[in-house]
C-alpha cells in the first residue's frame, strides 16, 4: 500500500484542506476514490468538495491575504524558503505519492518534486525584488511613482500530468507576490496537492493562504472560481478547450487569466544535425512522462538526407525503453493516465496507418495489459493525419519528411498552437533564422529539455496567456499602480 512506502504517513491526506483545517466530509456528503493507474488499487477516499466549500475557502483566503500582503517580501521569502527545504527533505515521500496516483516512474516523480520545489526557492528569492519605478513628471510640480501590488485572491486549476510541479509553480509566485491561493487539483491526482498543503502549513504559512479542494465536479468549482468577485485571477493549466470555457466564464467580471494550454510541438532535425544528440533529445522530449506533457514533441520533422538514418536510430533506442510500474527498478515508461488517453493513442495510430504511415516499432498495447502502451515510432507521417493536428499525449513519435528550410517552417507553424518547439542543427545562421521564424513561446535548440524555473515558460496563439518561472513569472500576480504627486 501507499502508506507502507512513506517515511512520514501524515503526508497521505484523506481530507480536503480549507483555511488551515482538514475537511473530512463534503456538504453534499459525496466522496470519490483516487486510484493507482498502474494497478487500479484504491489509494484514498476523499470528500468530493463543491461550490459551498470553494466559497468558504475563498472567504478565508480573502481574510488572510490582507495581512500577508502587508508583510515584507523578506518575511514571505522566509516561509517560502522553509517550504522549499521541506519539499526537498520529503522528496522521497512526495515522489512515492506522485507515482502512486499518477503512474510515472519513481525517479521521474522525484525529479518533478525537485523541479516543483525549485519554483518555491526561486520565487521566494524574487519576493524581495518586486521593484517599482519612478518616472520623470510630465509637469514641473509632478512626481510619478510606480508601485506593484498583489492581485489578491487567486484560484488555480491544475492537471494530472504534473500533480506537484504544475501547482508549485503557480503557488510560489502567488505567495511571493502577496496573494492567497485556492486550488482545485485534477481529481485523478489530488494527493500530491494535499501533501503540499500539509508542508506549507508546516513551513509556517498562515491559515487560509493556501486551500486545496479535492473535487470531481470541476464544472461547479470552476464556475465559483469565475463568478465569485473575491477571485481576482484564475490560473489554469490544462486543455485548450477548458481554457476557452474558463475565459468565457470569466468575461463577466473581466477576470485576469493565466493559461497554460495545449501544444503541438514540432521537433525539427536538419541534415547537418548531430544525429545521436537529436535522437537523445527526441527520446527526452517525446517519451518523458510517457508522452504526457504539453511540451512533448508531437510532430518530428526530419530532413530527407538523414530521414532513414534518424528513423532507424530512434526506433532502436525506443525499442529499449523499459515499460513498467513506476515503482519497478529501471522502469522508464509507466501506464497512461486513463482509458480515454489509451483510446486516443490507438485512434491516432489507426488513423495514421490507414493513411499510409508505417509502424517502425511499438504500435500496440503492451503485453502487461491495463493502461500500458508500447513506445511507438511511425514513419511516413503526413499533414492529413490526426497526429499532425492534435496533441497525441502519449508515447507515439510520427516522423514527417521535409526537403527545405522554408517548407519545414511553414509546416511547423501550421497549427493553432504555439507552446514548445525544438530544432537540431549545427549551422548558427540557420539556427537563428528558424528559431526566430517559429511561432512558439519556447524553442529548444539542440536540446529536448527546456523546463527550468529560471526561464519564462508559456505559449503564444491558442497555447495560452502569461508566463511561469523567471523574473517575468511574478508579474502575472502583480498589479501596476502609479501615484501622481503634485509637490
Ligand atoms: P486533461 O485533458 O489534461 O484532463 P482538462 O483541461 O480536462 O485536461 O483538465 C485540467 C484541469 O481542468 C483538471 O483539474 C480538470 O478537473 C479541470 N476541468 C475540466 N473541465 C473543467 C471545467 N469545465 N471547468 C473548470 N475546470 C475544469
Catalytic residue of the set 101, 260, 391, 468: 260
Q: Which ligand 1 atom lies nearest to the CA of residue 241?
A: 6
Measured CA to CA, the distance from residue 451 to residue 430 in angstroms comes to 23
DSSP 12-33: S--SEEETTEEE-S-TT--EEE
Using CB atoms within 10 Å of the CB of residue 267, give its burial: 0 to 12 exposed, 13 to 18 middle, 19+ buried.
buried
Of all protein residues, the one whose alpha carbon is nearest to atom 25 of ligand 1 is: 222
| Per-residue pLDDT band at 143 (split at 50, 70, 90) | very high
pLDDT at 316: 98
Instruction: Determine which residue's CA is closest to atom 14 belonging to ligand 1.
Output: 186
Residue 383 grid cell: 499533414
ipTM: 0.97
Measured distance CA(110)–CA(88) in Å, rounded: 9
Ligand 1 atom, smallest distance to 237 CA: 10
Is the pLDDT score of 302 beyond 90? yes
Is 175 a residue whose pLDDT tops 90? yes
CA of 107 to the centre of ligand 1 (A): 26
Average pLDDT value for residue range 365-383? 97
Identify whether the C-beta of residue 481 lies closer than 8 Å to the C-beta of residue 272: no
- Which residue's CA is the nearest one to ligand 1's atom 27? 218
As given in the structure block, the three cell numbers for residue 447 are 536540446
d(C-alpha 65, C-alpha 70), whole Å:
9
Please state the φ and ψ torsions of residue 182, each to the nearest 5 degrees: -115, 120
Q: How far is the CA of 186 from the centre of ligand 1 (A)?
A: 7
Q: Residue range 289-300: average pLDDT?
A: 96
Distance 341 CA to ligand 1 centre (A): 14
Mean pLDDT, residues 127-149 taken together? 98
Q: For the chain, give the longest Cα–Cα distance.
A: 79
- 394-422 pLDDT, tens digit each: 999 999 999 999 999 999 999 999 999 99
pTM over 0.95: yes
Would the pLDDT of 474 be above 90? yes
> Among 159, 255, 293, which is best to mutate for testing ligand 1, by the most ligand atoms less than 8 A from CB?
159
pLDDT at 271: 98
Rounded to whole angstroms, the Cα distance separating 461 from 419 reads: 8
Nearest CA to ligand 1 atom 7: 239
* pLDDT higher than threshold 90 for residue 28: yes
pLDDT in tens, 48-70: 999 999 999 999 999 999 999 99
Distance 399 CA to ligand 1 centre (A): 30
Q: Which residues have CB under 6 Å of ligand 1?
A: 157-159, 184, 186-187, 218-219, 222, 238-239, 242, 245
Distance from the alpha carbon of residue 62 to the mean position of ligand 1, in angstroms: 24
Residue nearest to atom 2 of ligand 1 (CA): 239
CA of 184, closest atom in ligand 1: 14
Which residue's CA lies nearest to atom 26 of ligand 1?
218
**pLDDT at residue 173 greater than cutoff 90:** yes
How far, in Å, is the centroid of ligand 1 from the Cα of 214? Answer: 13
What pLDDT, on the 0 to 100 scale, is given for residue 422? 98
SS3 205: coil
Top mutation candidate among 218, 248, 294 for ligand 1, by most atoms within 8 Å of CB = 218
pLDDT band at 1 (very low <50, low <70, confident <90, very high): confident
Give the Cα separation of 184 and 337 in Å (integer): 18
State the distance from the centre of ligand 1 to the C-alpha of 432, rounded, in angstroms: 36
Q: Specify which residues 143 forms β-bridges with.
A: 136, 485
Q: Which are the contacts of 369, defined by CB distance < 8 A and separation ≥ 6?
A: none
> Rounded distance, CA 185 to CA 19, Å?
16
- Name every residue whose Cβ is closer than 8 Å to that of residue 131 and which is 6 or more positions away in sequence: 148
The CA-atom distances, in angstroms, between 264 and each of 147, 274, 315 are 38, 24, 21
- d(C-alpha 36, C-alpha 218), whole Å: 20
Task: Name the DSSP class of 266.
Answer: E
User: Has residue 326 got a pLDDT over 90?
Assistant: yes
Residue (of 469, 422, 452, 124) closest to 296 by Cα position: 422
Q: Does residue 260 have an active-site annotation? A: yes
pLDDT of 235: 98
Mean per-residue pLDDT of the chain: 98
What average pLDDT does the segment 262-280 reach?
98
The span from the CA of 457 to the CA of 467, in Å, is 5
In this structure, which residue's CA is closest to atom 15 in ligand 1?
186
- Ligand 1 atom at minimum distance from 225 CA: 25
Given a contact cutoff of 8 angstroms between Cβ atoms, the answer to whether 182 and 155 are in contact is yes
Q: What is the pLDDT of residue 334?
A: 97
Q: Cα–Cα distance between 386 and 153 in angstroms, integer?
A: 40
CA distances from 394 to 185, 296, 351 (A): 21, 9, 15
Query: How far is Cα 67 from Cα 90, in angstroms, rounded to an integer?
Result: 29
List, as one string, the DSSP characters of 282-300.
Answer: HHHHHHGGGG-STTSEEEE
Amino acid at each position: 500500500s501507499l502508506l507502507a512506502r512513506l517515511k512520514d504517513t501524515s503526508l497521505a491526506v484523506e481530507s480536503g484542506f480549507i483555511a488551515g483545517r482538514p475537511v473530512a466530509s463534503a456538504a453534499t456528503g459525496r466522496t470519490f476514490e483516487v486510484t493507482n493507474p498502474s494497478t487500479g488499487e484504491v489509494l484514498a477516499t476523499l470528500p468530493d468538495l463543491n461550490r459551498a466549500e470553494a466559497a468558504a475557502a475563498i472567504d478565508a483566503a480573502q481574510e488572510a491575504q490582507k495581512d500577508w500582503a502587508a508583510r515584507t517580501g523578506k518575511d514571505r521569502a522566509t516561509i517560502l524558503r522553509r517550504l522549499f527545504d521541506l519539499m526537498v527533505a520529503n522528496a522521497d515521500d512526495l515522489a512515492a505519492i506522485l507515482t502512486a496516483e499518477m503512474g510515472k516512474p519513481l525517479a521521474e516523480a522525484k525529479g518533478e518534486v525537485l523541479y516543483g520545489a525549485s519554483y518555491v526557492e526561486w520565487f521566494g528569492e524574487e519576493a524581495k525584488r518586486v521593484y517599482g519605478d519612478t518616472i520623470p513628471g510630465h509637469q514641473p510640480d509632478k512626481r510619478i511613482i510606480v508601485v506593484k501590488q498583489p492581485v489578491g485572491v487567486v484560484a488555480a486549476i491544475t492537471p494530472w500530468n504534473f500533480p506537484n510541479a504544475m501547482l508549485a509553480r503557480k503557488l510560489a509566485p502567488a505567495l511571493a507576490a502577496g496573494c492567497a491561493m485556492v486550488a482545485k487539483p485534477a481529481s485523478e491526482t489530488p494527493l500530491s496537492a494535499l501533501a503540499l498543503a500539509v508542508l506549507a502549513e508546516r513551513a509556517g504559512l498562515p491559515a487560509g493562504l493556501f486551500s486545496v479542494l479535492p473535487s470531481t465536479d470541476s464544472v461547479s468549482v470552476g464556475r465559483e472560481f469565475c463568478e465569485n468577485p473575491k477571485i481576482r485571477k484564475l490560473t489554469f493549466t490544462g486543455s485548450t478547450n477548458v481554457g476557452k470555457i474558463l475565459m468565457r466564464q470569466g468575461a463577466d467580471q473581466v477576470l485576469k487569466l493565466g493559461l497554460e494550454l495545449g501544444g503541438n510541438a514540432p521537433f525539427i532535425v536538419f541534415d547537418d544535425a548531430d544525429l545521436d544528440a537529436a535522437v537523445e533529445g527526441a527520446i527526452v522530449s517525446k517519451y518523458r512522462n510517457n508522452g504526457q506533457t504539453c511540451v512533448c514533441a508531437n510532430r518530428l520533422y526530419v530532413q530527407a538526407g538523414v530521414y532513414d538514418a534518424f528513423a532507424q536510430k530512434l526506433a532502436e533506442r525506443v525499442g529499449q525503453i523499459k515499460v513498467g510500474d513506476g515503482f519497478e527498478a529501471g522502469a522508464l515508461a509507466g501506464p497512461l493516465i486513463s482509458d480515454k488517453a489509451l483510446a486516443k493513442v490507438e485512434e491516432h495510430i489507426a488513423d495514421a496507418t490507414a493513411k499510409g504511415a508505417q509502424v517502425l516499432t511499438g504500435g500496440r498495447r503492451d503485453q502487461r495489459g491495463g493502461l500500458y502502451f508500447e513506445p511507438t515510432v511511425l514513419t511516413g507521417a503526413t499533414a492529413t493525419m490526426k497526429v499532425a493536428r492534435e496533441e497525441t499525449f502519449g508515447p507515439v513519435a510520427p516522423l514527417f519528411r521535409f526537403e527545405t528550410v522554408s517548407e519545414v517552417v511553414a509546416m511547423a507553424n501550421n497549427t493553432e498552437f504555439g507552446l514548445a518547439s525544438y530544432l537540431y542543427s549545427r549551422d548558427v545562421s540557420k539556427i537563428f533564422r528558424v528559431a526566430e521564424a517559429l511561432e512558439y513561446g519556447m524553442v529548444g535548440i539542440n536540446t529536448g529539455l527546456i523546463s527550468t524555473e529560471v526561464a519564462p515558460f508559456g505559449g503564444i496563439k491558442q497555447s495560452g496567456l502569461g508566463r511561469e518561472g523567471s523574473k517575468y513569472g511574478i508579474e502575472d500576480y502583480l498589479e501596476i499602480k502609479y501615484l501622481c504627486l503634485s509637490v
